[in-house]
Amino acid sequence: MRPLSEMPHRSVARRRAVDRFVKGFSWVAASLGIALMFWIIAVCVQRGIQAWNWDFFTQTPAPPGQTGGGVANAIVGTLIMTGIATALGVPVGFFAGVFLAEFGKNSRFAQGMRSAINVMMGIPSIVVGLFAYTLLVPTLGTFSGWAGAFALAVIMLPVMARTTEDILSLVPNEMRESALAVGASRWRATLGVVVKAARAGLLTGAILAVVRVSGETAPLLFTALNSQYWTLDLNQPYANLTVTIYNFAKSPYPDWIAQAWGASLLIIVLVLGANILVRLIAQRGRP
């Protein structure tokens, strides 16, 4: 082995040049991404705000070729399906994450679950839509809100499971040991101490799971389809914002296209609001 003094050293100037290049490239890439994001938001605000009025939020779509109307049924349908999907996917994902972080850990079954969750997170949403279509639409005999909610829940489940496992893994082991030392059972220590300590991060994960499905269109095309009418019956095609945007945007009617921009702006506002809420919760949960 050669002495340290004989080893080749890169010059200080070269290292500084490489450092400047990496920093400069990072700044350019970040600036480009931020600029594109603001450009998209600006275009949506410019074109979408014109469609926002009282009728837009309170009425159903007008017949083809007629002006007026709104997307109230799609807003309500999206909220209902997302709420049902949250009730289905978030608890299952939460308990799956608890099992992986606290009980299964390095067991073969847990390793298999982690692999399955990682695969599910990488599956395109259109494949989830096809799966939900094959499973539910022929069984129910029609497109339905139930099928749409199920597809969204399948997308949310791995996100919640992965987030829960990661958050619970950050809780110090001393808290678990302290709870067990005073005689608490394992499940009481987990739910009463560990989960309570990580509640801010878990709530953040749940909101992120909801945000993950807020702009999905492909799964709903195969499951809920769409409707231009008011309905609370989940056993038939169900109105939703994303498919409404898709249908309106490709139509030849200027008024529908304008409402598609308005609905797009509404989704952006909801997603940005959810992200701001996530940051506020995360900051509040810090010691």
Residue 172 falls within a domain, yes or no?
yes
pLDDT given at position 38: 92
Task: Tell me, yes or no, whether 90 lies in a domain.
Answer: yes
Across the chain, how many H-helices and E-strands are there?
A: 13, 0
pLDDT exceeds cutoff 70 at 284: no
Determine contact, residues 240/81, Cβ cutoff 8 Å. yes
CB 219 within 8 A of CB 129: yes
CA distance 238 to 261: 21
Percent of the chain at pLDDT exceeding 90: 47
DSSP 252: S
Residues of the chain above pLDDT 70, percent: 95
Residue 153 has pLDDT above 60, yes or no: yes
Domain presence at residue 188: yes
Q: Is the pLDDT of residue 189 over 90?
A: no
pTM above 0.95, yes or no: no
If you write DSSP's letter for every residue of 135-170 in order, what string do you get? Answer: HHHHHHTS--HHHHHHHHHHHHHHHHHHHHHHHHHT
> Any idea what the CATH number is for the domain that residue 211 is in?
1.10.3720.10
Q: How many separate domains does the chain show?
A: 1
Please answer whether residues 207 and 274 qualify as being in contact, where contact means their C-beta atoms are separated by less than 8 angstroms. yes
| 120 lies in some domain | yes
More confident residue, 66 or 75: 75
pLDDT, position 93: 93
Distances in Å between the Cα of 268 and the Cα atoms of 184, 186, 202 are 45, 42, 23
R_g of the chain, CA atoms, integer Å = 24
pLDDT digits (tens, 9 = 90+) for 211-229: 888 888 899 999 998 888 8
Domain that holds residue 156: 76-240
The band of 242, judged by pLDDT with boundaries at 50, 70 and 90, is: very high
Instruction: Classify residue 9: in a domain, yes or no.
Output: no
pLDDT, mean over the chain:
87
Lowest-confidence pick of 110-114, 176-180, 253-257: 176-180
Residue 7 has pLDDT above 50, yes or no: no
Average of per-residue pLDDT across 89-114: 89
Among residues 272, 217, 211, which one has the least CA distance to residue 240?
A: 217
Q: Is residue 220 part of a domain?
A: yes
- Residue 32, domain member (yes or no): no
Identify whether 68 is part of a domain.
no
pLDDT at 87 over 90: yes
Q: Give the tokens for residue 200.
A: 């801010």
